[in-house]
Chain A
Amino acid sequence: MPTPTDAAGIDTEAAASSSPPDTPVIEFVDVEKSFGSNVVLKDLNFQVAQGERVTLIGPSGSGKTTILRLVMTLEELTGGYIYIDGEPLTHENRDGKRVPVSKKEQKKLRTRIGMVFQQFNLFPNMTVLENIIEAPIHVLGQTKKDAIAKAHSLLDQVGLPDKADAHPSSLSGGQQQRVAIARALAMDPEILLLDEVTSALDPEVVDDVLNILRQVADTTNVTMLIVTHEMGFARDVSHKVMMFDGGHVVEEGPPDKIFTNPEQERTRKFLSAVLGH
């Protein structure tokens, strides 16, 4: 369904791709996602700039996680367009027609995106080290030596230097999640998607994991799209906070503003519920 905004979106896109620094790293144009008859996202438009860290907040079922899963191509986009570095991720707009992009193109874009899951999803049939080096060697074509060296430095970074040969099943949840972060970072992603990464953890290890992510945010220029219920973390690391409800952006702005002086009643209610006052 071509609309004026569609066309406008593409034009600016084409113009912007000639000057990379201005190209948004992630751009949603009229994104629509439905599961059967259940519409989860509708007419969603937003951009994330290079190096920007955006946190999505909102009640469960508001479509935040779906946004991350759409970027990771874990869900099929049912309408609109997603652009990564100005290139269409799933479909392109060819004279108003929505045409799927080739699998090859999609795969190329996807290697720039990394994701950390709520349930860690480490591979139980591999050691910690093997988990980290598997994709860099076989997907990115790194040499085994380089991949291993990188994996060790990442394990140092996440505070697990002596766990390289351990099996995931012998690690605690917090340790598994730190390995999962190292595994995602080993791919050198341009975009890192964090999907409620501390929700499945014991309360006392949540801070360990968040501190590692704070450090990643401080020391790298990786663009982050974050879904979390840890408002303190969201406030610390993000440049922008987007409040979702019912598949719509209710309000967005810098964290200081959203958390201290939200404009919308809905945001205020949500925040007082999660912050518990």
Chain B
Amino acid sequence: MEFFEDWPQYFEVAINWSDRLLAGLWTTVQLTLFGGLLAFVIAVTLGLLAGSPNRWLRIPARILIEFFRGVSLVVLLFWLMFVLPQIWMRNPDLPFRDLVYNTFLLGVIALGLNYGAYGAEAVRASLTTVSSGQWEATTALSMSWSHKMRRIIFPQAWALMLPSLANLWVHLLKGSAIAYIMPFVSDFTAELNQLRRPTDIWFSHAFIGLVVYFILALILTVIMQTLEARAKHKLGRGPSLREILSPAPKAVMAEGSAVTVTDPPQDPAGPDSASAKTEGGVRR
């Protein structure tokens, strides 16, 4: 029963530690945001290239995706942290020395590469689910590749890729905990490890760590679900954000004869949580 009796003291220690915990939390948030941003850029770039009909673009993209998908994040971090700097140690005149010694930056790059490679698959797959009729219509209107991607194809694929990207972002948040092995980067998990010494592993990791990571993941999920609902509304599927957020949703405000959608090939693979939930709310 000691365990429970000691808890009030544990909270005291945690409060004394709060500056460091908050600093660690802020590092984790930064890793998640910058890593997620880099992962997104890599995912879109590699995803577009991997979906290209041109094999000179497609094959290198595929190799990069498979490589960074297959490499363990821990091993990748070790390479970036401990192997890469050796090259600069042997040749001190090489440029970008500061960048290679910036472990936070290397952490962001490792997270971005690893999760970006996963994301690229989500991007590529969702681009292929945009119906061929949409591609053909853009050709019939003589749109350039960048134009059709930006205005027609990507916005439709966007709604489909968001759930996968949301998953990956939450994974990235949790994967960022691996940063505690990195020198000079004290993320939330690293600080929890420090807190573990005056308290115990149950209190620091299993209680504070569990709750905080869960809340962070919840925030990311809510952000992504908002984006998804917005994207779906733009495609004419599902209500607008305002309708979702209004406490008492009004009945369907479609003009008079709301005709059923006659576009079977474009329907998404299946109704997912967001649309099912909101549709139920709006259609009484």
List the B residue with the shortest CB-CB distance to A168. Answer: B236
Contact between B136 and A117, CB atoms less than 8 A apart: yes
Please indicate the chain B residues that have their CB under 8 angstroms from the CB of A175 in the complex: 259
Decide if B261 is an interface residue (CB 8 Å cutoff). Answer: yes
In the assembled complex, the CB of A164 is this many whole angstroms from the nearest CB of chain B, namely 13
In the assembled complex, the CB of B186 is this many whole angstroms from the nearest CB of chain A, namely 44
A interface list, Cβ under 8 A from B: 72-74, 107, 110-111, 113-115, 117, 119-125, 134-135, 138-139, 166-173, 175-176, 183-184, 187, 200
Contact between A121 and B136, CB atoms less than 8 A apart: yes
List the B residue with the shortest CB-CB distance to A110. Answer: B142
Contact between A111 and B136, CB atoms less than 8 A apart: no
Contact between A138 and B147, CB atoms less than 8 A apart: yes
Contact between B236 and A170, CB atoms less than 8 A apart: yes
Known: A124-B263, A124-B266, A173-B262. A117 touches B141 (CB 8 A): no
In the assembled complex, the CB of B229 is this many whole angstroms from the nearest CB of chain A, namely 14
Could you say which of A73, A113, A166, A169 contacts B261, with CB atoms under 8 Å apart? A169
- Name the interface residues of B154-173: CB closer than 8 Å to any CB of A: 155-156
In the assembled complex, the CB of A185 is this many whole angstroms from the nearest CB of chain B, namely 12
Decide if B1 is an interface residue (CB 8 Å cutoff). Answer: no
In the assembled complex, the CB of A184 is this many whole angstroms from the nearest CB of chain B, namely 7
Complex CA–CA separation, A59 to B266 (angstroms): 28
Contact between B234 and A134, CB atoms less than 8 A apart: no
Complex CA–CA separation, A114 to B140 (angstroms): 6
Decide if B174 is an interface residue (CB 8 Å cutoff). Answer: no
Decide if B139 is an interface residue (CB 8 Å cutoff). Answer: yes
Decide if B235 is an interface residue (CB 8 Å cutoff). Answer: yes
Contact between B258 and A170, CB atoms less than 8 A apart: yes
Could you say which of A123, A138, A171, A187 contacts B259, with CB atoms under 8 Å apart? A171
Please list 20 pairs of residues, one from A and one from B, whose beta carbons are closer than 8 Å in the complex, sorted by A's number. A72-B136, A72-B140, A74-B136, A114-B140, A121-B131, A122-B137, A124-B236, A125-B234, A134-B152, A138-B143, A139-B141, A139-B143, A139-B147, A169-B235, A169-B237, A170-B254, A170-B258, A171-B259, A172-B259, A187-B141
Could you say which of B142, B235, B258, B263 contacts A139, with CB atoms under 8 Å apart? B142
Most chain A CB within 10 A, of B144, B234, B237, B261, is at: B261
Additional A-B contact list (4), CB under 8 Å, known A110-B142, A125-B155: A74-B139, A113-B140, A119-B263, A170-B254
Contact between B142 and A123, CB atoms less than 8 A apart: no
Decide if B151 is an interface residue (CB 8 Å cutoff). Answer: yes
Most chain B CB within 10 A, of A73, A122, A124, A200, is at: A124
Complex CA–CA separation, A113 to B259 (angstroms): 31
Contact between B235 and A125, CB atoms less than 8 A apart: yes
Could you say which of B137, B152, B155, B255 contacts A170, with CB atoms under 8 Å apart? B255
Most chain A CB within 10 A, of B136, B143, B156, is at: B136
List the B residue with the shortest CB-CB distance to A69. Answer: B136
Contact between B156 and A124, CB atoms less than 8 A apart: yes
In the assembled complex, the CB of A186 is this many whole angstroms from the nearest CB of chain B, namely 9
Complex CA–CA separation, A9 to B262 (angstroms): 45
Contact between A167 and B139, CB atoms less than 8 A apart: no
Please indicate the chain A residues that have their CB under 8 angstroms from the CB of B137 in the complex: 117, 121-123
Please indicate the chain A residues that have their CB under 8 angstroms from the CB of B235 in the complex: 124-125, 169
Known: A134-B151, A172-B259. A123 touches B134 (CB 8 A): yes
In the assembled complex, the CB of A68 is this many whole angstroms from the nearest CB of chain B, namely 10
